[in-house]
């Protein structure tokens, strides 16, 4: 018996009840219909990571710990950069919403912060996990190097700061 009251039979894990989520089955979508990075450009995507800061209280000759502020870590997205549907152009469109390097103008958070949805897909393309990402904006863009000895594609790696992540299911 497990501590949750059900008996775990290791043989059941091999019969088909155990189906792990596969890393290559995911979708990323934007809630802003005026801005979208096409899903087929996305090569890699990191799921949210949460850090809960620890508060230490010294009491007599010991220490007691409490949960402090929670902080969602940055998310990384890697894009393939094709010619016809330029990922560079889509990325710079988003970057220019927060800082336009040609004019020096900074934008309003309501313009450059985007809400995103990450869906992890099951074997049949069914959604088995969903995250709602609140207030994402680009903090770093790496347009990758060119290399005459490589036959790989150009990629763009984005680092996104996020305000919140909600695990829906």
Those residues with Cβ within 8 angstroms of residue 132's Cβ, 6 or more apart along the chain or in another chain: 115, 116, 117, 165, 166, 168
Residue 14 confidence (pLDDT) above 80: no
Among residues 44, 50, 36, the alpha carbon closest in space to that of 142 is found at 44
Residue 70 confidence (pLDDT) above 80: yes
Which pair of structure tokens corresponds to residue 103?
């004019």
Mean pLDDT of the chain: 91
Per-residue confidence band for 33, with pLDDT thresholds at 50, 70 and 90: confident
Ordered domains of the chain (ranges, CATH): 18-167 (2.30.110)
Residue 8 confidence (pLDDT) above 80: no
Q: What's the confidence (pLDDT) of residue 11? A: 63
Helix, strand, coil % in the chain, rounded to nearest 5:
15, 45, 40
Those residues with Cβ within 8 angstroms of residue 14's Cβ, 6 or more apart along the chain or in another chain: none
Provide the percentage of residues in the chain whose pLDDT is more than 90: 82
Tens of pLDDT, residues 104-135: 999 999 999 999 999 999 999 999 999 999 99
> What is the pTM (predicted TM-score) of this model?
0.83
> What is the pLDDT averaged over residues 27-55?
93
Whether 122 and 147 have beta carbons less than 8 Å apart is answered as: no
Whether 52 and 67 have beta carbons less than 8 Å apart is answered as: yes
């Amino acid at each position: 018996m497990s501590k949750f009251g059900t008996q775990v039979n290791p043989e059941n894990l091999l019969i088909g009840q155990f189906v792990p989520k596969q890393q290559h089955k995911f979708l990323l979508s934007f809630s802003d219909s005026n801005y979208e990075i096409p899903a087929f450009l996305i090569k890699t995507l990191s799921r949210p990571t949460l850090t809960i800061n620890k508060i230490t209280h010294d009491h007599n000759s010991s220490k007691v710990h409490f949960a402090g502020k929670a902080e969602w870590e940055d998310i990384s997205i890697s894009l393939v950069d094709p010619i016809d549907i330029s990922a560079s152009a889509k990325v710079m469109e988003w970057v220019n919403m927060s800082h336009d390097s040609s004019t020096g103008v900074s934008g309003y958070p309501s313009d450059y912060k985007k809400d995103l949805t990450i869906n992890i897909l099951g074997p049949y393309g069914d959604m088995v996990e969903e995250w709602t990402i609140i207030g994402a904006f680009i903090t770093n863009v790496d347009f990758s190097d060119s290399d005459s000895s490589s036959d790989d594609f150009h990629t763009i790696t984005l680092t996104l700061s996020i305000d919140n992540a909600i695990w829906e299911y």
